[in-house]
Amino acid sequence: MTERVDNGPGGAASSRDWSDGVAELEKRREFVRQMGGAEGVARQHSQGKLTVRERVALLADPGSFREFMGLMGHGVYEGAELVRLTPKASVDGFCRIDGRKVVISGGDFTVRGGSGGGAHGGLGMELASNRRALEWRVPYIRLLDAAGGSVRSFEEMGRTYLPDGNSFTAPDVQLLRAVPVVSAVLGSVAGLPAVNACMAHFNVMVKGTSQLFPGGPPVVKAALGYDVTKEELGGWEMHTSQSGVIDNLADSEQEALGMVRRFLSYLPSNVWEMAPRTEPCDDPGRREERLLGIIPTDRRRAYDGHKIIEDVADRDSFFEIAPAYGRARITGLARLNGYPVGVMANNPMFGASTDVAAGEKVMRLMQLCDTFHLPIVSFANEPGFMVGLDSERKGIERAGARMVIATCDSQMPWATIVVGQLYGVAGQCHHRPTGMFQRYAWPSASWGSMHIQGGAAAAYRREIEAAPDPEHRRAEIEARLEAIASPFRTAEATGQDIIDPRDTRPLLCEFVEEAQPVLRSQLGQTCVPYKP
């Protein structure tokens, strides 16, 4: 402490300032800025990875990051003087993204491999990052590069401990019902951080430099006796196309962080606010001629479902989620006249029939839209649930039941455009009997409980088998049924609205505008818990 004495008039009393304390503060901040030291930073860069502070600088609006709990760490003292400080293995703080406040928690792999250790905790602890996001009602972003728990902590604690992490991970569960949560997997992530990667509304990993598993290759070797590489066990090929654990894949950390920013741009800061509308940049009355011929008249030919979305949504606004998993369905976020919406479509390029993986994607999108009060738009060309031995092994019936439940539980405004087939219970999942729901059909639509071709063979089996020429009789029956399968006959009986495909965008822009008062009435937490 520095003493200052003023003997001038009215200043006879001595006063003191805290320059020494400020110098000590800066000294500790400098230790923290060094992270795990030059060697650890160099090792991070040699693996093609950024440090956590470089990641935060890329993600946050310039100059907006304000760290908290930044002096926490393991100090080494000579007498009363601090000579070394190993900071905690994470960087936490508030920042702004596109002007909106968020909380970031980033693992620092240069410090103990991102492991939190067991030396901290107890009385007097400040609020953790997840609690702050919950209490401040702002989005929560995890930048994951952490190995989870370490046996080194046993030595530091002088004991082992009973697993009781849910006492401090409970806020992570609460967050899912309150604010947008995003996880970016930016290195080898194991243990609890691997689970946190999935406790999010959206996650992304980086090709070649990030992996995800509950336990890495040494743990697999000890438990199961075989060798496996980190990439084979939990790399991008495993998780973005096979397991579906990770939504999106980026070629670089910069691209991954850009995806985080873009995903958040469609969502409100919390469930008590409306999603932000951008300045409309596309004519809501735009009518695309290509839509007239986008569905082939030969139903055996496929088309790319993305093209319908591109022609209907605001230009360049579609952000696809989980493009490599469950590819029979396309899911993502887009804008209609500036308003954020959820979008899903069957994709005949990959069979169109909804299998277990595609169903999981759809349910996640429905939950996301319901939680954050976004309208949802479905472009339906649904042949039905996937059939066959592989589909049975994966439990297609239970998945179908979950889809029916999720559909009926949802409450956000929903519009379905039937562009092609709509059959069976899977077709039923493009319809909701309650709330604000609108369904339009194109003239290319066809529907029923099942396809005429397969259904006729089952329903008229005895008649077909008893005929002198079974194949001829089957063809006669199918032709008779096809003659009454026109969607216009359905419209005569039910009032179903059939539209010119070119009117799809104008009608959906109108629907989304009309949905805004309904969405405002639904603000707050939904009664159905969010299930990642």
Please say if the pLDDT value at position 163 is more than 90: no
For residue 317, pLDDT over 70 is answered with yes
**Rounded average pLDDT over 30-42:** 91
The arithmetic mean of pLDDT across residues 453-477, rounded, is 75
Written as one string, the DSSP assignment of 76-133 is EEETTEEEEEEE-SEEEEEEEETTEEEEEEEE-TTTGGG---SS--STTPPPPHHHHH
User: What pLDDT is stored for residue 336 in this prediction?
Assistant: 98
Task: Give the mean model confidence (pLDDT) for residues 6-21.
Answer: 63
pLDDT given at position 351: 87
Label each residue of 200-255 as H, E or C.
CCEEEEECCCCEECCCCHHHHHHHHCCCCCHHHHHCHHHHHHHCCCCCEEECCHHH
> How high is the pLDDT of residue 364?
97
Which pLDDT score, from 0 to 100, does residue 1 have?
45
Is 221 in contact with 252 (CB distance < 8 Å)? no
Distance CA 13, CA 27 (A): 31
pLDDT digits (tens, 9 = 90+) for 466-476: 888 888 877 77
Identify the bridge partners of residue 262 per DSSP, sorted by sequence position.
none
What percentage of the chain carries pLDDT values higher than 90?
73
Q: How far does CA 402 lie from the centroid of its chain?
A: 19
**pLDDT-derived band of residue 447, with 50, 70 and 90 as boundaries?**
confident
CA distance 237 to 231: 8
Look at 115-119, 338-342, 391-395 and tell me which has the smallest mean pLDDT. 115-119
Q: What contacts 194, CB < 8 A, 6 or more positions away? A: 148, 212, 213, 214
Token output for 289: 């001629």
CA 488/CA 497 separation, integer angstroms: 9
- Structural domains of the chain ordered from first start: 50-72+88-265 (3.90.226.10), 289-442+499-521 (3.90.226.10)
In the predicted model, is pLDDT for residue 188 greater than 80? Answer: yes
Q: What is the pLDDT of residues 68-91, one digit of tens each?
A: 999 998 899 999 999 888 899 899
Could you tell me where the beta strands, DSSP code E, fall in 231-338? 248-250, 319-321, 329-336
- What is the average pLDDT value for the chain, to the nearest integer? 90
Pairing, β 181-185 against β 202-206:
parallel
Residue 122, pLDDT above cutoff 70: no
**375-397 residue pLDDT tens:** 999 999 999 999 999 999 999 99
pLDDT at 12: 45
Out of 6-20, 107-121, 309-323, 491-505, pick the least confident: 6-20
pLDDT at 116 over 70: no
